[in-house]
Structure 1
Amino acid sequence: MDPWLIWLVTAALLGAAEIFTLTAALGLLGGAALITAVFAAIGLPLPWQLLVFTLVATVGVVFVRPVARRHLSPPQSERFGVDALVGEAARVTAEVTGLGGRVRIGGEEWSARAYDETLVIPTGTTVDVIEIKGTTALVYPRE
């Protein structure tokens, strides 16, 4: 069997395997095998074919794959609802302890508890929202 045909079959097999794995690596190796098949068809000797395959595969995996993976992975979704409040600054409107209190987060008043139950946070203090549990914000004073 001619070497170019072997490279072509290898490229097809790697391309088909890429469909099932979605890693972007096997597809790049299949592309390298396809390019090598072209060089084999014009009569390049086997050692040079292996060198071409190695170089093209290396360039593909090192430079092209990271870009492809960035485009294939979904972007980090926006936070909505109460999830968007985590990490926000809030102002204490009624003293906050481990048992309760009130804070204003983005114009809305929320019930609050201190994230560290031993803390007592006085009115007027700026705090960070650490977590939202139900309708209660767990807060910690900013430093």
Structure 2
Amino acid sequence: MGDWLSENGWALWMVAAVLLGITELLSLDLFLIMLAAGALAGGLTAVVAPDLWWLQALVAASVSGLSLGLLRPTLLARVRSMPGYRSSVSTLVGRPGRVTVAVADGLGEVKVDGQTWSARPYDETMELDVGTEIEVFELDGTVVVVYPRHLGLEGS
């Protein structure tokens, strides 16, 4: 068994790279693919130096670390700056909802897309009763800024 591993260590690295790559398809976070790149580099090192496991692990860890530290932030910034990109939270803007806890004195709760959010009105002097239909104007941290759908933004 030990002889097989020393002669075919590259195959283990390739299996790890493929599994990490496939798992990346489920998360789409550009994290596991960087580890897959490290495993691929470890596999290539295993082809050149099959008996030096420590070197293979060092190369795999170095490539993974450099990819995570240098390449991933750049790729994420590019993806997030592409036209049409919206994070899952920013898709709340413009969504309808309903007041679940009266919004008074600038704070209350609303339900939007089945999730409960702390809310404040677009106009700080406005009070919204339970059951009022609202629309999300913007996000302010973890608080949604809302306005009543029937009045619109200008109150008309």
Class of the TM-score when normalised by the shorter of the 2 chains: 0.5 to 0.7
The alpha carbon displacement at 1:48 in A equals 0.8
The alpha carbon displacement at 1:12 in A equals 0.5
SS in structure 2 at match of 1:136: coil
C-alpha separation between the residues in 2 aligned to 1:37 and 1:15?
Answer: 14
Q: Deviations along 1:2-53, whole A, 9 cap, x unmatched?
A: 1111001100000111111101010111011111111110115001111111
Alignment-derived partner of residue 9 in structure 1: 15
The change in CA–CA distance for 1:116 and 1:43 in structure 2 (over 3 A counts) is: closer
Within 5 A, what are the aligned runs for 1:104-115? Answer: none
How many residue pairs match? The answer is 89
The alpha carbon displacement at 1:76 in A equals 7.8
The TM-score normalised by the length of structure 1 is 0.53
Question: Residue type matched to 1:8 in 2?
Answer: M
Within 5 A, what are the aligned runs for 1:61-140? Answer: 61-73=68-80, 75=82, 134=152, 136=154
The alpha carbon displacement at 1:71 in A equals 2.1
The change in CA–CA distance for 1:24 and 1:134 in structure 2 (over 3 A counts) is: same
C-alpha separation between the residues in 2 aligned to 1:51 and 1:14?
Answer: 18
Question: Residue type matched to 1:26 in 2?
Answer: L
The two structures, once aligned, show a CA RMSD in angstroms of 2.8
Percent sequence identity over matched residues?
24
Question: Residue type matched to 2:72 in 1?
Answer: R
The change in CA–CA distance for 1:63 and 1:136 in structure 2 (over 3 A counts) is: same
C-alpha separation between the residues in 2 aligned to 1:69 and 1:59?
Answer: 15
The counterpart of 1:49, out of the listed 37, 47, 56, is 56
C-alpha separation between the residues in 1 aligned to 2:83 and 2:154?
Answer: 26
Question: Residue type matched to 1:41 in 2?
Answer: V
- Stretches of structure 1 that go unaligned for 5 or more consecutive residues are 78-82, 84-114, 118-130, 138-143
Question: Residue type matched to 1:27 in 2?
Answer: I
The alpha carbon displacement at 1:136 in A equals 1.7
Within 5 A, what are the aligned runs for 1:10-25? Answer: 10-25=16-31
- Stretches of structure 2 that go unaligned for 5 or more consecutive residues are 85-92, 94-122, 126-145
The TM-score normalised by the length of structure 2 is 0.49
